[in-house]
Structure 1
Amino acid sequence: MAATASACPVVGTTNDVLPPNHPEVDLTKDGQTCPVVGAKTDHHHNLHKHPSVAIDNSLSPPVATECPVLKNVVNEPKSKAMDDEVCPVIGPATTVLPPDHPDTAAAKEGDVCPVTKATVGHHKNKVHSHPSVHGADKGAVCPVAGVSA
């Protein structure tokens, strides 16, 4: 986790390290789509491979919530300000949806996010609507991510 990592504008993660079990992908080539979350390589040249670790897949699928580094990251002041939690797939991410995210009130348990492939069932009561930014001035600071518009 780089100290200068910026928040992803879609899911709010500041994690720039792929999970150790992530499929191989050449991050230098634009136009590829992640088979896990549907992200495009065009916007992810800042990502890095996870250092090699032994994973015993016979016990249970590896999840980011078990990573000792990521457990500590969510206790950092910036993570607390962004209301971060550890997602088992992408690591630390804000629980606040982007301001332009479609309304999830009518979403059903099995529905899938068209942007990230996340299922509603895994995120029900864990993610929240973004505070209104309607009428915000150019250059205003996001109340969640703390970045300028």
Structure 2
Amino acid sequence: MASACPVVGTTNDVLPPNHPEVDLAKDGQTCPVVGATTDHHHNLHKHPSVSIENASSPTATECPVLKKVVTQPKSQAMDDEVCPVIGPATTVLPPDHPDTSAAKEGEVCPVTKATVAHHKNKVHSHPSVQSTEKGAVCPVAGVKF
């Protein structure tokens, strides 16, 4: 597994089997699913070809490997769940994420294109880090500030 993504907290470095084709070695491309750019995602890999029972909707939540990953101690410490799009990801929003408490049902996150409807009561605010010293470790992702 890779280190945690600073935006969504995923430690998964494998794209889902149904992910659109994208040249991960080429900078400047934008993912049509979550809006991420290839500039920061050279660590990603294509999922091997697999036969999926529910081929009409092959999502990360159907992967038996990812279901086991979220039970590992590191994933539990980060409060990971399996997102159907990006796989294991922390349910805690980054410290600089805008407040979502007043977001309306149809609103979309400007960073990841995630909708409030799919994430309501599934994501949580990050603990305050305003008085954190440089070099301190994030209580969620375990990375240094």
TM-score (norm 2): 0.97
Question: Residue 46 in 1 paired to residue 22 in 2?
Answer: no
Amino acid at match of 1:115: V
- Aligned to 1:71, what secondary structure does the other structure show? helix
Distance in 2 of aligned mates of 1:125 and 1:22: 26
Deviations 1:77-103 (Å, cap 9, x if unpaired)?
Answer: 000000000001110000000000000
* Count of residue pairs the alignment pairs up: 145
State the match for 2:142 in structure 1. Answer: 146
Which of 67, 82, 96 pairs up with 2:78?
82
Aligned-residue offset at 1:63: 1.4
The counterpart of 1:131, out of the listed 127, 130, 137, is 127
Query: SS at 1:93's partner residue?
Result: strand
Aligned to 2:31: 34
User: In structure 1, what is the equivalent of residue 5 of structure 2?
Assistant: 8
**Among 83, 95, 101, which residue is 2:97 paired with?**
101
Is 1:113–2:124 an aligned residue pair? no
| Identity rate, percent | 86
Listed one character per residue, the Cα deviations across residues 10-61 of structure 1 (whole Å, up to 9, x for unaligned) are 0000000000011110001110000000000000000000011124566x41
Which ranges of structure 2 fall in alignment gaps of 5 or more residues?
Answer: none
What is the match of residue 62 of structure 1? Answer: 58
Output the aligned Cα RMSD: 1.1
What is the TM-score of this pair, normalised by structure 1?
0.94
Distance change >3 Å, CA 75–CA 56, structure 1 → 2: closer
5+ residue gaps, structure 1, are: none
Inter-partner Cα distance in structure 1 for 2:78 and 2:108: 24
